[in-house]
Amino acid sequence: MEKTSKEVSNRGLAIRLKYAFERKVEREAEHGRKYTKSLLALKMNESRQVIQQWFRSGSMDKFKALRLSEELGVTIDWLLTGRYDIDTITITTPRVKALVALFQQLEPEDQEHIYQEMLELERRKREKIDALFNLK
């Protein structure tokens, strides 16, 4: 099969995809959630077979690669090339930039405290959502 100009393909991409997926699985498990290739396929609106092909060959449409990087929480630069930090984020709003700048100025123990508080808020929010779904 000949690649179109909209497709990217390489073994390195397949390796990075596997690594990014494993990291996503671990992050979700930390919050008591399960993340599978079937769930990834659902979120990407693709069949599980297509997802498996991506993992084997690293061949996919560029726009799918962008969406995939967003879903797995890695940068598109890292997914496609391996360059730059896997955890580099793009900050798009002035408010988020200001929050990150303030956070970075804090002492490490204060950063950890805020991080734990945010995790607790997220946990409580999920409990409320779960409770609402259990009412049905």
Considering Cα of 109, then 113, then 118, then 119, what sign does the dihedral take?
A: positive
Q: What is the pLDDT of residue 98?
A: 83
State the Cα–Cα distance between residues 36 and 51, nearest whole angstrom.
11
Query: What local confidence, expressed as pLDDT, does residue 19 receive?
Result: 92
- Check: CB of residue 52 under 8 Å from CB of residue 18: no
Q: How confident is the prediction along the chain (136 residues), in pLDDT tens digits per residue?
A: 445 444 555 888 899 999 999 999 998 998 899 999 999 999 999 999 999 999 999 888 888 998 999 999 888 888 888 876 655 555 567 787 788 888 888 888 998 999 899 999 989 988 888 887 776 5
- The predicted pLDDT at position 26 comes to 92
Rounded to two decimals, what is the model's pTM? 0.58
Q: Which CATH architecture has domain 7-81?
A: Orthogonal Bundle (1.10)
pLDDT at 10: 80
Give the DSSP per-residue string, 67-133: HHHHHHT--HHHHHHS-S-TT-----SHHHHHHHHHHHHS-HHHHHHHHHHHHHHHHHHHHHHHHHH
Which H helix or E strand runs over 28?
helix 11-30
Spans of all domains in the chain: 7-81, 94-134
